[in-house]
A and B are shown apart, each in its own frame.
Chain A
Amino acid sequence: MDNFAFRVQDLHRTYYMKGETVHALRGVSFDVFSGEYIAIMGPSGSGKSTLLNVLGCLDRPTQGRYLLAGQDVAQIDDYQLSRIRGRRIGFVFQSYNLLQQLNVVENIKVPLQYQGLIGKDATKRCSELAELVGLGSRLFHRPTELSGGQQQRVAIARSLVNDPYFVLADEATGNLDSKTTEEVLDLFQTLNEAGKTIVMITHEDEVAARAKRVIRLRDGEVESDVINNP
């Protein structure tokens, strides 16, 4: 089957510090198909962020395989990891992480810059995405002039601009109130229905309930991996 978004096989991540070793991940394996909507849950310290860093190609596993589009990216160099982040993965952070000196369109454009796409087409695509997330009337606003929910929408638009294999969201609704959380989740759902693969880390059951599949981690291992019944 070729329609895996990615596969992880026996992922280990061990931190060594001052003679102490911390096993943050101890053999995590699961496959994600294109078009899936997955929530990753687990208690604090269970290894969620560690896993996300590996999935996001920000970190390399100590051991195990991570297959993206059939290619093992577990042990490639920093430059190639950067390329993969820029082309294949969309990030949505808990604290939005927009660049303050740039307006909405420019923020959405950042990932394209690093692929050398800086023409008029790029600007047009960014405006369209802003429109898609409901910010068509705020194209040239700075992040400080937007609400938290609006900022997160910009961040989501930014995560889509490079047409990634999947969107990685780390506690994307963690800073939002319940109403805006709903709005953002609606947006994710719409995107998923349009075929986008979404991997979301969350603490909240209500958020996880919107996903199609929930993977629970405990002490660096997969505790459960269940399909949500709508």
Chain B
Amino acid sequence: MFAKFLQTVYLGIKSLLVQKLRAGLAALGIFIGTSTVIWLVAMGEGVSYRAQQQILELGAKNVIVRTKQPNEGSEEDANSRVKTYGLLRADYRRIVENIPNIRRAIPMRELRYELRLDDRTVDTKLVGCTEDYLTLNRLEIARGRWLSSRDRGKKVIVLASDTAKRLFPYENPIGRAIWVGSEFYTVIGQTKDRTASAAIGGSLDSREYNLDAYISIKTLRQRVGDMVMKRVGGGQGFNFVGEDVELSQITVEVNLIEQVDETAQIIETLLKKYHQEEDYAVVVPRELLRQAERTRTMFNVLLVIIAGISLLVGGIGIMNIMLATVTERTREIGVRRALGAARSDIIGQFLAETVVLTASGGLAGVLFGLSVGPIFRLTKLAITAISPDALPPIVHSLEPRIALWSVLLSLGISLGVGVLFGVYPARKAAYLDPIEALRHE
């Protein structure tokens, strides 16, 4: 039985080799179909894996409450130069006092600010934070030390890696003094490079950490204040607009991951009572994760549909070839029938040929698909070598991840296509009248 099967497959291969180019071209369609599925799925998985990592950076047990600019025009003071909005220190207190299950809540205020040293300036994001901020954002100290409770209200500053590099290209910044606005601050530490985390609070950019500067939130409040003025417009008259924001973000960490959603809702209700406007957003990283998961599923479904279509096209190509083959080999079919082949034997023969054709295309496609990692890396290297800036950063950080299901699926589909599109030509061959077939030229 098995020997007979092997024999059929062997003879199928032999017949296919009679028309190598044609068989090759027919299998090419399947090859492209399967390798495309694996490649695209691997890329998609790579992207979504990265997105998930970024979201996880935000902390699965966290609820993040962020200040956001309210929609314009609703306020009567639209023409006022200073806009007051956002989270209040009072909100922070309310959250800490009223919300159960909280492990910790960390307030933070960040604003664009220029740091200066001699003739060097750097446009940083000045972050006023508490001591917890380091661990919360998984920052690490490269040298010096992080802010401690004794630094509250003091004029000490921790620089992020890029900030430090720009102000002190050659020297060790620890212990040096830099200008923060109109006052001197002492640099006490420097953080390590850290990759960006996911975008939150409706902003499209992911959060970068490398151009930060950290001071105690108390210092920020006392020395810099809540209000920031910006110069806008050109010409003779300067025009200033300002914003008055107490807190940029409150990160709330709950005890158990199951409490995240509920806590987020309570916070939302609580804040709604005290804010007339939507000048804050409650973000749940876990929810982001779920969204990312949904996006990924949708993307994969889309891919599978595309793959299905491409394999369908490949299958039609195969069927076309097999129909031509049946016509060409009508005589052979007649001879085989005369020599004792039953209809089922003829069906088996042609089905075996089709399946061998699609399976070899499919297997080759899988092998090529599995090599997506090395090939992708090599291509990246080659392009970077030719022109260093040709690739956007997202491509650089992308690592394709092969999904087992995509391999199995594409292989399965290619075999299925072989059977599906082989049946009709095979039946056609089997139901030829042997006498007519023998007479065929």
Residues of A within 8 A of B (CB): 53, 56, 58-59, 78-79, 82-83, 85-87, 91, 93, 97, 99-102, 110-111, 113-116, 118-119, 158, 162
Contacts and interface: CB of A to CB of B under 8 A. Distances in A.
Contact of B14 (A53, A58, A59, A101): A101
Contacts of A119: 3
Contact of B342 (A58, A78, A97): A78
A197 to B, nearest CB: 18
Contacts of A111: 339-340
B50 interface: no
B438 A93 contact: yes
A79 B4 contact: no
A53 B341 CA distance: 16
B340 A97 contact: no
Nearest to B439: A49
A79 B339 contact: no
Nearest to B8: A113
B327 interface: no
Contacts of A93: 335, 438
Contacts of B232: none
B140 interface: no
A218 to B, nearest CB: 22
Given A58-B435, A113-B7, A82 B335 contact: no
Given A99-B332, A101-B15, A79 B342 contact: yes
Contact of A58 (B17, B344, B434): B434
B248 to A, nearest CB: 77
A123 to B, nearest CB: 12
Contacts of B336: 99, 110, 114
Nearest to A118: B7
Contacts of A102: 14
A200 B404 CA distance: 63
Interface of B: 3-4, 7, 14-15, 17-18, 331-332, 334-345, 434-435, 438
A58 B338 CA distance: 7
Given A97-B331, A118-B4, A118-B7, A82 B342 contact: yes
Given A114-B336, A118-B7, 10 more contacts: A56-B338, A82-B341, A85-B340, A86-B340, A86-B341, A97-B438, A99-B335, A101-B18, A113-B7, A114-B345
Contact of A114 (B17, B332, B339, B438): B339
Given A97-B331, A116-B4, A53 B340 contact: no
A114 B335 contact: no
Given A97-B331, A99-B335, A101-B14, A115 B343 contact: no
Given A58-B434, A93-B438, A97-B438, A82 B4 contact: no
Contacts, number: 66
Contacts of A79: 342-344
Contact of B338 (A83, A85, A116): A85
Nearest to B431: A78
A134 B116 CA distance: 103
B339 A85 contact: yes
A110 B11 CA distance: 11
A137 to B, nearest CB: 23
Nearest to B10: A118
Contact of B340 (A59, A100, A101, A115): A115
A119 B15 CA distance: 21
A111 B345 CA distance: 12
A22 B335 CA distance: 26
A114 B342 contact: yes
Nearest to A161: B339
Nearest to A162: B340
A187 B241 CA distance: 112
Given A58-B435, A97-B331, A82 B337 contact: yes
Nearest to A99: B332
B340 A82 contact: yes
Nearest to B336: A110
Contacts of B343: 78-79, 82
22 contacts: A58-B435, A59-B435, A82-B340, A82-B341, A82-B345, A86-B339, A86-B341, A91-B339, A97-B331, A97-B334, A97-B335, A99-B332, A101-B17, A102-B14, A110-B336, A110-B339, A111-B340, A114-B341, A114-B342, A116-B4, A118-B4, A158-B339
Nearest to A170: B438
Contacts of B342: 78-79, 82-83, 114
Most chain A CB atoms below 10 A, which of B18, B339, B342: B339
A87 B342 CA distance: 12
Nearest to B334: A97
Contacts of A59: 435
A75 to B, nearest CB: 17
B294 to A, nearest CB: 53
